[in-house]
Structure 1
Amino acid sequence: MKALVLSGGAGTRLRPITHTSAKQLVPVANKAVLFYGLESIAEAGITDVGMIVGDTAAEIEEAVGDGSQFGLKITYIPQERPLGLAHAVLIARDYLGDDDFVMYLGDNFIVGGITDLVDEFRGNRPDAQILLTRVADPRAFGVAELDPSGQVIGLEEKPDRPKSDLALVGVYLFTPLIHEAVRAIEPSWRGELEITHAIQHLIDSRADVRSTVITGYWKDTGNVGDMLEVNRMVLEGMDRRIDGDVDTASETIGRVVVEEGARIVNSRIVGPAVIGSGTVITNSYVGPFTSIAENCRITDSEVEFSIVLRDSSIQGVGRIEASLIGRHVEVTPAPSVPSAHRFVLGDHSKVQITS
Structure 2
Amino acid sequence: MKALVLAGGTGSRLRPFTHTGTKQLLPIANKPVLFYALESLAAAGVRELGLVVGPYGDDIRRAAGDGRSFGLDITYLRQDRPRGLAHAVAVARGFLADDDFLLHLGDNFLDGGVAAFAARAVAAPAAARLLVTAVPDPAAFGVAEVDPDGRVRRVEEKPDRPRSDLALIGVYAFGPAVHEAVAAIRPSPRGELELTHAVQWLVDHGHDVRADTTTSVWHDTGSVDDMLEANRHVLDGLTGRLDGKVDHDSAVVGRVLLGEGAVVRGSRVTGPVVIGPGTVISDAVIGPYTAIGANCRIHDSSIEGSVLLDGADVDRAGRIERSFIGRDAVVAAPRHPYAHRLVLGDHSKVHLHP
- TM-score normalised according to structure 2 size: 0.94
Q: Distance in 1 between matches of 2:150 and 2:207?
A: 15
Query: Structure 2: how far apart are the matches of 1:22 and 1:186?
Result: 27
Q: Summarize the Cα distance change of 1:48–1:110 in structure 2 as closer, same or farther, 3 Å threshold.
A: same
SS in 2 for 1:301: strand
Matched, 1:217 2:239: no
The equivalent residue for 1:232 is 232
What is the CA–CA distance in structure 2 between the aligned matches of 1:335 and 1:115, rounded to whole Å?
Answer: 49
Question: What is aligned with 1:339?
Answer: none
Give the whole-Å Cα distance in 2 for the aligned partners of 1:260 and 1:69. Answer: 21
Match of 1:272 in 2: 272
**Would you say the 8 A contact 2:279–2:294 is kept in 1?**
yes
2:151 is the counterpart of 1:151: yes
Matching of residues 246-265 of structure 1 within 5 Å: 246-265=246-265
More strand by share: 2
Structure 1 segment 1-355 matched on structure 2, within 5 A: 1-333=1-333
User: Which string of whole-angstrom CA distances, capped at 9 and with x for unpartnered residues, describes residues 63-86 of structure 1?
Assistant: 111111111111111001111111
**Which residue in the other structure is 1:340 paired with?**
none
Contact 2:231 2:289 in 1 (8 A): yes
Question: Partners in 1 of 2:205 and 2:247 — Cα distance?
Answer: 67
Q: Distance in 2 between matches of 1:292 and 1:146?
A: 42
Displacement of 1:205 in angstroms is 1.1
Cα distance in 1 between the residues matched to 2:195 and 2:116: 23
How far residue 150 of structure 1 moved from its aligned partner, in angstroms, is: 3.2
CA deviations on 1:11-53 (whole Å, 9 max, x unpaired) are 1111101110110000010000000100001001101111111
Report the Cα distance in structure 2 between the residues aligned to 1:329 and 1:186, rounded to whole angstroms. Answer: 43
| SS class of match (1:269) | strand
User: Paired residues, what number?
Assistant: 345
Tell me how far 1:130 sits from its aligned partner.
0.2
| 2:9 counterpart SS class | coil
Equivalent-residue separation in structure 2 for 1:236 and 1:129 (angstroms): 31
CA distance in 2, matches of 1:173, 1:154: 17
CA shift, 1:133, in A, is 0.7
Q: 1:74 to 1:346 in 2, by over 3 A?
A: closer
Q: Which amino acid aligns with 1:248?
A: H
Identity fraction in percent: 55
Q: Matched residues in 2 for 1:202 and 1:141: separation?
A: 20
Moved over 4 A (4+): none
**Any idea what the Cα deviations from partners look like across 1:138-194, whole Å, max 9, x if unmatched?**
111110112343321001011111111111011010011110110011111111111
Q: What secondary structure does 1:319 align onto?
A: strand
Letter aligned with residue 134 of structure 2: R
Q: TM-score, normalised by structure 1?
A: 0.94
Deviations 1:208-259 (A, max 9, x none): 1111010110010000111000000000101121111001110011111111
CA contact (8 A) 2:317 2:335 kept: no
**How many angstroms apart in 1 are the aligned matches of 2:150 and 2:31?**
37
Note the C-alpha offset of 1:335.
Answer: 10
Q: CA deviation at 1:354?
A: 10
**1:268-293, CA deviations, whole angstroms, 9 ceiling, x for partnerless residues?**
00000011000000000001100000
Quick one: distance in 2 between partners of 1:183 and 1:150? 26
What is the CA–CA distance in structure 2 between the aligned matches of 1:155 and 1:239, rounded to whole Å? 40
In angstroms, what is the RMSD of aligned CA positions?
A: 1.9
**C-alpha separation in 2, matches of 1:354 and 1:250:** 28
Deviation at residue 334 of structure 1 after TM alignment: 6.2
Unaligned stretches of 5+ residues in structure 2: 337-341
- Distance in structure 2 (CA, Å) of the matches to 1:178 and 1:84: 15
Letter in 2 for 1:88: A
